[in-house]
Amino acid sequence: MKEPERKPHSRKRRGRAVLAGCLVLATPACESGWPVELRVTVLASPAGAGSVAPFLSPGRDGVWMSWLEADGNDHRLLLAQRIPEGAPADGATADGTWSPVREAGRSDNYFVNWADFPVVVEDARGRLWTHWLERGAAGGYDYGVRLVSSEDGGATWSQPISLHDDGSPVEHGFVSSIGIGDGASSDAGSGAAFVWLDGRKMAPDADAESEREMTIRYREVAFLDGQLSAGPEVLLDGRTCECCQTDMAATSDGPAVVYRDRSPDEIRDIRIVRRVDDRWSEPMPVHRDGWHFEGCPVNGPALAVSGERLAVLWFTGADGRPQVKAAVSTDSGASFSAPLALDRGDPIGRVELVGMGDGSFLAFWLERTDGGGADLVALPIDGDGRAGSSATVGKTAAGRAAGFPRAALEAPGRVLVAWTETEPSNSVRIARVEAKSLR
């Protein structure tokens, strides 16, 4: 899994003001300005030393965070919930507090990777769903997705099942999920919908006449009659980038999924598929960047819904010019605006996007700094194609050890974001970012 080589370019590094202002964008969408102030507060993290791979998602009683933590030869999959300000909880403060840390799994056979990591989601009935990646007998990139669920806030967990029917000694991972009841469908019980990259067409015993290709697939899993019950697998695209993150969100029409495509000419642009009237659409480009890249850039897109708007955030290296771009849709992803270029001039990517609920969004990505470091950058976007000024949330390394930042909406105008700091050792940090209109 190679990161793309960064080619020199002449773009000047943009300012890093926290206060109101307007970025110089690739389109004139920001000329009218959008006066928004971002306020950053670093919070205590429930994760310990050696923690990596944070993931955040909203729940009914607060934001959930999952992460991995080393313990001798084992790795532990841990979760905690951020109890918001004013919620009844032992130890609650004006700033909120964390629930007790829960263990969803522990093993010396987890596949722990900087780019492919567990997610956690709460369904419409309050049931938690999470997964880990388990190594196969062949070693290397032979690993599969093992799914578990909890009905008591993570105190106890179901027996694990495989998310996929295929057991070939290849990659199965890069999972995204939404809770059923939030855009997916289920006949009964509680459950969640999942998408993942599935390498069964790359298996050693795959059809010799077929090209080795990564695929993306969808499946719903319900909790019925006391056990996990998986629905049919759905092939969404038969040829995708091999190791870029996926993302999924619930729209008023149904689930929408974004991922990095791989054309026969090695063009690695972002595509979207949507389920409308219980039928999946054909894959559609969000924008034709035309990024030709021989290999996997390990840099997937992010997707979020806010009010009647849907937005996609992604990294591209088209024309030898690294950029972080965003595009907004007013029709659940059937069409998109011209993209905005948001970065400061030297982005690494590793993007994350949160819908604020009012039609606006908060974008996050890593931006390269001098000396091998990186800034975790936050920037607000509204549904009309305007952007506010960026803020530096935290600092980390530019290399793989820094992983991917992840974020979730805590309350209107308030987002939690988690990332991995690498010095003096790996440790998951978390901050609150508040967006305040100055009008």
Residue range 267-272: mean pLDDT, rounded:
98
| Run of H or E residues at 77 | strand 74-83
Report the C-alpha gap between 37 and 297 in whole angstroms: 33
The more confidently predicted of residues 7 and 318 is 318
Q: How many domains does the chain have?
A: 1
Residue range 81-108: mean pLDDT, rounded:
79
CB 251 within 8 A of CB 275: no
The reply to whether 86 falls in a domain is: yes
pLDDT per position as a tens digit, 333-352: 999 999 999 999 999 999 99
The more confidently predicted of residues 230 and 16 is 230
The reply to whether 32 falls in a domain is: no
pLDDT per position as a tens digit, 143-160: 999 999 999 999 999 999
CATH of the domain at 314: 2.120.10
The reply to whether 39 falls in a domain is: no
CB 281 within 8 A of CB 273: yes
The reply to whether 295 falls in a domain is: yes
The reply to whether 408 falls in a domain is: no
- CA 65 vs. chain centroid, Å, equals 13
Q: How confident is the model at residue 86 (pLDDT cuts 50, 70, 90)?
A: low
Instruction: For residue 76, give its domain range.
Output: 62-351
- CB-CB neighbours of 282 under 10 Å: 9
pLDDT over threshold 60, residue 172 = yes
pLDDT at 22: 33
Q: How confident is the model at residue 418 (pLDDT cuts 50, 70, 90)?
A: very high
Q: What is the DSSP string of 254-313?
A: SEEEEEEB--TT-B--EEEEEEETTEEPPPEES-----B-SS------EEEEETTEEEEE
pLDDT at 84: 82
Apex 243 CA angle, 369 and 276, nearest 5: 110
pLDDT per position as a tens digit, 401-413: 999 999 999 999 9
- Residue corresponding to tokens 């578990």: 148
pLDDT over threshold 50, residue 215 = yes
Q: How confident is the model at residue 35 (pLDDT cuts 50, 70, 90)?
A: confident
**DSSP secondary structure code for residue 261 in this structure:** B
Average pLDDT, the chain: 89
For residue 100, give both structure tokens: 């007790």
Query: Which residues touch 286 (CB under 8 Å, ≥6 apart)?
Result: 258, 269, 270, 271, 272, 301, 312, 314, 327, 336
pLDDT over threshold 90, residue 71 = yes
pLDDT over threshold 90, residue 321 = yes
- CB-CB neighbours of 308 under 10 Å: 13
The reply to whether 275 falls in a domain is: yes
From residue 52, alpha-carbon distances to 77, 135, 198, 428 in Å are 10, 18, 24, 6
From residue 71, alpha-carbon distances to 51, 106, 155 in Å are 10, 9, 20
Q: Is the torsion defined by CA of 230, 232, 233, 236 positive or negative?
A: negative
The reply to whether 432 falls in a domain is: no
pLDDT at 184: 55
Short-list 164, 173, 171, CA closest to 141:
171
The reply to whether 49 falls in a domain is: no
- CB-CB neighbours of 52 under 10 Å: 22
CB 143 within 8 A of CB 135: yes
Report the C-alpha gap between 154 and 162 in whole angstroms: 19
Return the C-alpha torsion angle 155, 403, 261, 121, nearest 10.
20
CB 105 within 8 A of CB 157: yes
Query: Which amino acid belongs to residue 334?
Result: A
Q: Is the torsion defined by CA of 318, 322, 326, 332 positive or negative?
A: positive
Q: What are phi and psi of 45, to 5 degrees?
A: -105, 140
Burial of residue 135 (number of CB atoms within 10 Å: 0-12, 13-18, 19+): middle
The more confidently predicted of residues 246 and 228 is 246
Q: How confident is the model at residue 214 (pLDDT cuts 50, 70, 90)?
A: very high
Report the C-alpha gap between 392 and 394 in whole angstroms: 6
For residue 282, give both structure tokens: 């054909």
pLDDT at 3: 40
pLDDT at 13: 38
